[in-house]
Structure 1
Amino acid sequence: MNIREYYQKTAKACFCVAWISLLLAIIFFVCHLLQLFKGDLLIFVIPIIIFSVLHFFYFRTYDKRVEKLGDKPMQTSGQLLSIDHVLVVFMPAPTLRMLLFDSKGLLLGEVRDQNMRWFMWLIPNVVSLLLPKRFILLDSDGQVRAKYHTRAGLTNSMTIYNADDEIIGGYRENWKDSLIKIKGIIYKGNQSEWIAVESKANLYSLQLKTIDKKNVASFQEGWMPVEWAKRFELNTPIITFSSIITEQERVIVLGFLAAVLHHRDH
């Protein structure tokens, strides 16, 4: 998948939701005419119609983005753990499906729930947040590069494994602090503390530095170069890695972001 295909799939989903919602509103209207139910019709129909119109607007927005990208061939990229700037796009999913693109719109890989099933759409977010999760990091060829396991409960604590199931790091949160903000420690496989994290819960901007104040990575949204904005929405999150960190350290950073973003924007 590339960024064009992402927009095409999202546009199609929004289009289907818009028409299904409109059909549901029509069914309510017909049932009211046939006196199959009594009550104020507008209470039922108006919210559904607004929902339908909004999704039709989203459909047109994504459809226009596809047109702007044109028909130029776009391939995947094999630079998942070597490129410095990674753009994050969230696919519609019951838990986490986080697509990773380079600035040219080429798919680098994704972080997704290993146990994603259809019935998970039926689980309320409030309940799903408390359940343990098993995420996997896939490259553009679909190969597993890492595994991320979170514990049940209110915190986002995580253990990070490589493709061979060896522990290479993790993230620990203090549950008292994590109720109002993101605060914890990212550590490496030998349990040594690597990065102290403290941020607002909304996480619009974050600078990750090691315990000895070396820049590792940053996460931000709301700004990007003009050339990138031709392919991505303006508020698309951007991960910027320092050129000095290793592939394994990049895997750990991606795991931390999966831990704190796993119920955002999908």
Structure 2
Amino acid sequence: MKINDYYQDAANLSLNGSLAALLPIILMTAANLSYLHNEAVFVLTVPFFLYSFICFQLYLFRKRQSITINRNLSSLKPVNGDQSLFSARHLLVLFHNAQSPQVLLYFPDGQLAGSIKRYRLKGLRKLKFSMLYVLYNSKNEAIACFGVKRKREITIEVYDKKRNCLGFLKKTRLNWLKSREELYDTKGTLIGFVEGSGTFMDEKIIDQYNQQVSRLRRGWMPVEWSPLFPEPNTPVLSFDANLSEQEKLLRMSFLINEFFIER
């Protein structure tokens, strides 16, 4: 899925919402004309009509964005289709709020880098985790998973594709406004923490040496990416160049809290 497909899907969702809002209008109008004969009933259709109109305008807007992005993609030189999710310094993060919500990760060239989706737990796995999320690469191959445990604290355990545990993120609620997120290795040693803003998206991961190794922020996107990503507030996930694949996976665990748990 290229970035233009994301906007096309968003357009289709808006169109479906517009059409769905027309159904109660049709039913109320038909019932009124056939049985009620009360002009006041038509007033009840106004909110549905307004919602349908707004959704349709949003559909047209997203559709135009998709067409423009597709045109811009076509003008670019072909890229290597074997790009690795872990080779990128920067990834653009989009939340796809469909029937099954997922986080989509894109390279700056508009190609899909990977996705994070919820896995429906079955059998004994329900006893171990309350929720499980799987990270897929651009070929839809599972390359990692994040198991969520909810008790007094929220723990997100990280596993690679060979099911080796890489460590975990622990979120502790300090009060109803403030919480603390810390990263631990498999031995339970503290190796970092998440430092964020309470007013806007700007999450930094600081390691045990007090160095920033990863960051998720909104409103930073370079202007040269705008032909493919028209929303200037698209979140950008950045990694330190020296992080290994396993280290990046462990630090990506805070995306689960940011997009699936806190939302």
Normalising by structure 2, report the TM-score: 0.84
Bigger CA drift: 85-94 or 26-35?
26-35
Aligned partner of 1:217 in structure 2 is 214
- The answer on whether the counterparts of 2:174 and 2:180 sit within 8 Å (CA) in structure 1 is no
- The answer on whether the counterparts of 2:154 and 2:172 sit within 8 Å (CA) in structure 1 is no
Which residue identity lines up with residue 132 of structure 2 in the other structure?
R
Which residue identity lines up with residue 143 of structure 1 in the other structure?
E
Aligned partner of 1:128 in structure 2 is none
Does residue 51 in structure 1 map to residue 51 in structure 2? Answer: yes
Q: Distance in 2 between matches of 1:48 and 1:154?
A: 42
Q: Which runs of 5+ in 2 are unaligned?
A: 122-128
Report the CA distance between 1:259 and its aligned residue.
2.1
Which residue identity lines up with residue 224 of structure 1 in the other structure?
M
Aligned partner of 2:188 in structure 1 is 191
Bigger CA drift: 25-34 or 234-243?
25-34
Q: Distance in 2 between matches of 1:108 and 1:163?
A: 16
Report the CA distance between 1:245 and its aligned residue.
0.9
Report the CA distance between 1:137 and its aligned residue.
0.5
Q: Distance in 1 between matches of 2:205 and 2:195?
A: 9
Structure 1 SS opposite 2:150: coil
Q: Distance in 2 between matches of 1:248 and 1:203?
A: 28
Q: For 1:258, which of 249, 253, 256 is the aligned residue?
A: 256
Aligned partner of 2:162 in structure 1 is 164
- The answer on whether the counterparts of 1:182 and 1:201 sit within 8 Å (CA) in structure 2 is no
Asked which structure has the greater RCO (Cα within 8 Å, sep 6+), the reply is 1
Bigger CA drift: 100-109 or 7-16?
7-16
- The answer on whether the counterparts of 1:184 and 1:196 sit within 8 Å (CA) in structure 2 is yes
Structure 2 SS opposite 1:194: strand
Which residue identity lines up with residue 112 of structure 1 in the other structure?
K
Q: Distance in 1 between matches of 2:238 and 2:37?
A: 56
Report the CA distance between 1:52 and its aligned residue.
1.4
Which residue identity lines up with residue 24 of structure 2 in the other structure?
L
Report the CA distance between 1:40 and its aligned residue.
5.5
Q: 1:260 to 1:26 in 2, by over 3 A?
A: same
Q: For 1:246, which of 226, 244, 247 is the aligned residue?
A: 244
Normalising by structure 1, report the TM-score: 0.83
Q: Distance in 1 between matches of 2:171 and 2:36?
A: 53
Q: 1:43 to 1:242 in 2, by over 3 A?
A: farther
- The answer on whether the counterparts of 1:77 and 1:106 sit within 8 Å (CA) in structure 2 is no
Aligned partner of 2:124 in structure 1 is none
Aligned partner of 1:20 in structure 2 is 20
Q: 1:230 to 1:210 in 2, by over 3 A?
A: same
Q: 1:51 to 1:201 in 2, by over 3 A?
A: farther
Q: 1:78 to 1:186 in 2, by over 3 A?
A: same
Does residue 150 in structure 1 map to residue 155 in structure 2? Answer: no
Any idea what the Cα deviations from partners look like across 1:82-112, whole Å, max 9, x if unmatched? Answer: 1001001111235640000011111001011
Q: 1:154 to 1:59 in 2, by over 3 A?
A: farther
Does residue 84 in structure 1 map to residue 89 in structure 2? Answer: yes
Cα RMSD of the aligned pairs, angstroms, is 2.7
Q: 1:83 to 1:112 in 2, by over 3 A?
A: same
Structure 1 SS opposite 2:12: helix
Aligned partner of 2:112 in structure 1 is 107
Which residue identity lines up with residue 252 of structure 2 in the other structure?
L
- The answer on whether the counterparts of 1:186 and 1:256 sit within 8 Å (CA) in structure 2 is no
Larger radius of gyration: 2
- The answer on whether the counterparts of 1:111 and 1:135 sit within 8 Å (CA) in structure 2 is yes
- The answer on whether the counterparts of 1:8 and 1:63 sit within 8 Å (CA) in structure 2 is yes
Between Structure 1 and Structure 2, how many residues are aligned?
250
Aligned partner of 2:66 in structure 1 is 66
Aligned partner of 2:131 in structure 1 is 133
Which residue identity lines up with residue 115 of structure 1 in the other structure?
R
